[in-house]
DNA sequence: GTTGACTAATCAATTAGTTGAATATAAGAT
DNA sequence: ATCTTATATTCAACTAATTGATTAGTCAAC
C-alpha cells in the first residue's frame, strides 16, 4: 500500500485538494510514483477513514468547491514509521528489457530503432531534470532542509536515467558493430 | 498485459512447465520482470486459450506429472508484433525515492542508514551480475546470436544498478557533509 | 517414522491499477 | 450561441498483482 505513503509524503509539503494532488503525480512526484486521479481520490477516502489525513471543504466563488486534505499527527507518525522500516530495492518491470531478451526473434534493425527511440526519450527526460536543477537547485550547498531532500530525489532521477542512457548507447554500438560481421560472414 | 509477453519471451528459449518457468522468474528473467507462480499459471491458461502457447502433458515416474508449454507460430507472431511496436519508458515506482522526498520528517541518521542499506543491496546485485557475466559471457565478441541479446539484457541490469549505486554514494556523501554543518552552525 | 525440502499445480480473497464515462461550474475562444 | 479548456469529483467495470491456503507425491535427513 505504497500509494498511501506517496500521497502522505506529498501532503507533507502542503495541503492539497485531490485535483491538485493529481497534478503533482503527473509532474514532479510522478517521476518516481505515478497515480491516476481515480486512484488518488479512492486512496484519499481510505486515508481519511483511517484518520491519517483530514479534509476541509472550501467553497470558491467562480469555481467548484474543493476538499483540501492535510496530514494529521497520526498520518505523520505513520509516514515516519514507514520511512524508518527498511525496504527492498524497487522491483523492475521493464518492457524494453523483455524485448531485448527476445531480440533474436525480430530483425536486428527493429531492436536498433527501439533502442534509439529510448535513447532519445532518456535524453529528453534528463534535459527536463537538468532544467529543474538549474531553476530550483542552482546552489545545492545552501539549500534549506526540505529542499535538500527534493534535490537528492531529483539527483536520483538523473542517475537513474543516466544508467539507461548509457546502456542504450552501449547496446547500439555493440549491435551495430556485430550486425556487420553477422550479415557478412 | 505485459506478463504474457515476458512469458512468451522466456518460452522462446525453450519449452517450460509452469513450475520451471516460475523459477526463471525468480532468477534471470526475474531481474527485469517478476511474477508469482499463481500469476504464471493463470497467464499460461489464458495464453493457451488464445492459442499463443500449447501444452503437452508429460507423465514422470517418481514425480508429479507436468504440463510443458511451448510457443505456437501465432504466439511467435504475436511476440514479434509487440516487439516491433514502440513502447514507452518503463514507469518508475520507487519506495526509496518517496522516502527521500519526505526525508525531512525523520532524523537525518534514518535516511543515511537506509541509503547505506540500499547501497549494499545494489553492490550485491552488481556482484551477482558480474559473476554471471564472467561465467556465461566471458567473450562477448564471439557470442552466438541468441546469447548476444542475453548479454545485452544483462548489461542493462548492470547499468541500471550502477545508476542507483552511484546515486546512493553521492547522496550519502552529500548528507554526511551537510549534516555536520547543520548540527554545528 | 516424522519432519522438512523439492516438484507440480490450483483455488479463494483481497488490494492495486487501468479504462471509460458522467456530473457540474465557469472562463475564454470561434 | 456553442465549443473547448480548466477546475473539481465520483461511479462502475475490469484487469493485474499480491497473499495465503490446499493438495499430493517423492526424497533425504534426523
pLDDT per position as a tens digit, B41-61: 999 999 999 999 999 998 776
Average pLDDT of chain A to the nearest whole number = 94
- Closest residue of B to A124, CA-based? B89
First and final C-alpha spacing in chain A: 54
- Nucleotides on chain C that have an atom closer than 7 A to a protein CB are 7-12, 15-21, 24-27
Residue A14 within a domain: yes
- Closest residue of A to B1, CA-based? A95
Residue A178 within a domain: yes
Is residue B62 pLDDT above 70, yes or no? no
Task: Determine how β-strand B16-17 pairs with β-strand A53-58.
Answer: unpaired
Strand C contacting residues by CB (7 Å): A 1-4, 34-36, 38-39, 62-64; B 17-20, 23, 37-38, 41, 45, 60, 63-67, 91, 93
In the listed set A23, A49, A84, which residue is the last one of a domain according to the structure? A84
> Cell 542552482 sits at which residue?
A138
Which cell goes with B93? Answer: 515506482
In total, how many domains does chain B have? 2
Can you tell me whether residue A91 is helix, strand or coil? Answer: coil
d(CA A183, CA A180): 5
With beta carbons less than 8 A apart as the criterion, state whether A104 and B144 touch.
no
Question: Cα B110–B112–B114 angle (5° rounding)?
Answer: 70
Residue A90 within a domain: no
- Structural domain including B43 reads 2-84
Residue A136 within a domain: yes
* B59 and B105 together in one domain: no
Q: Which residue has the higher pLDDT, B178 or A137?
A: A137
User: Chain A interface, mutation test: which of B33, B102, B103, most A Cβ atoms within 10 Å?
Assistant: B102
* B79 and B142 together in one domain: no
* B52 and B110 together in one domain: no
d(CA B172, CA A22): 31
Residue A89 within a domain: no
Residue A114 within a domain: yes
B136-160: per-residue pLDDT in tens?
999 999 999 999 999 999 999 999 9
B70-123: per-residue pLDDT in tens?
999 999 999 999 999 999 999 999 999 999 999 999 999 999 999 999 999 999
CATH number at residue B35: 1.10.10.10
A158 burial via Cβ count (<10 Å: 0-12, 13-18, 19+): buried
Amino acid at each position: 500500500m505504497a500509494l498511501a505513503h506517496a500521497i502522505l509524503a506529498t501532503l507533507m509539503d502542503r495541503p492539497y485538494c485531490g485535483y491538485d494532488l493529481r497534478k503533482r503525480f503527473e509532474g514532479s512526484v510522478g517521476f518516481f510514483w505515478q497515480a491516476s486521479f481515480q486512484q488518488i481520490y479512492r486512496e484519499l477516502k481510505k486515508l481519511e477513514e483511517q484518520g491519517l489525513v483530514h479534509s476541509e471543504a472550501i467553497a470558491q466563488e467562480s469555481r467548484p468547491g474543493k476538499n483540501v486534505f492535510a496530514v494529521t499527527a497520526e498520518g505523520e507518525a505513520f509516514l515516519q514509521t514507514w520511512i524508518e522500516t527498511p525496504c527492498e530495492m524497487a522491483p523492475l518491470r521493464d518492457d524494453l528489457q523483455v524485448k531485448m531478451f527476445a531480440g533474436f526473434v525480430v530483425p536486428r534493425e527493429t531492436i536498433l530503432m527501439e533502442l534509439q527511440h529510448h535513447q532519445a526519450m532518456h535524453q529528453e527526460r534528463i534535459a527536463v531534470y537538468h532544467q529543474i536543477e538549474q531553476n530550483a537547485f542552482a546552489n545545492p550547498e545552501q539549500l534549506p532542509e526540505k529542499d535538500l531532500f527534493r534535490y537528492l530525489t531529483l539527483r536520483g532521477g538523473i542517475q537513474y536515467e543516466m544508467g539507461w542512457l548509457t546502456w542504450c548507447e552501449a547496446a547500439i554500438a555493440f549491435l551495430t558493430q556485430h550486425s556487420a560481421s553477422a550479415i557478412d560472414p
